[in-house]
Amino acid sequence: MPKTLKIGSDSFEFVSTRVYDSVSVYRGKDTFMRMGPRELVRKELELHRELLSKEFPVPEIVKEGETEGRYFYIEKSVGTSLLTYAFQDDYLKKGQISMRNFSTFLNLTRRFADAQLSTVTSGRPGSDFRQGIYLPYIMTEFPELKDSIKEAFDMLNDRVSVFPTVLTHGDLNPHNFLKEGIIDFGSAFRGYAGYDVVGNIYHTYLFPKTGDYENMRSYEFTSQQFITYFKAIDEIYEKHGLPKISDYQNDFLLAKTIWSAARMIYRPKMQKWRFDLLKRLTLDYLRGKSILETMKTFPS
Residues 158-202: pLDDT tens digits?
999 999 999 999 999 999 999 999 998 989 999 999 999 999 999
Bridge-based pairing state of the strands 31-36 and 70-76: antiparallel
Task: Return the closest-CA partner of residue 180 out of 237, 112, 275.
Answer: 112
**Cβ atoms 174, 182 nearer than 8 A:** no
Residues 194-251: pLDDT tens digits?
999 999 999 999 999 999 999 999 999 999 999 999 999 999 999 999 999 999 999 9
Give me the chain's average pLDDT, please. Answer: 96
Q: Which domains does the chain have, with CATH numbers?
A: 4-76 (3.30.200.20), 83-297 (3.90.1200)
Residue by residue, DSSP assigns 212-239 as: S-SS-------HHHHHHHHHHHHHHHHH
Size of the chain, expressed as the number of residues it contains: 300
CA pair distance 122, 51, nearest whole angstrom: 19
Strand stretches in the chain, DSSP E: 4-7, 10-17, 24-27, 31-36, 61-67, 70-76, 165-168, 177-178, 181-182, 189-192
Residues 6+ apart with CB under 8 A from 46: none
Query: What SS3 state is found at 96?
Result: coil
Residues 6+ apart with CB under 8 A from 7: 33, 63, 65, 67, 72, 74
Residues 81-127: pLDDT tens digits?
899 999 999 999 999 999 999 999 999 999 999 999 999 999 999 99
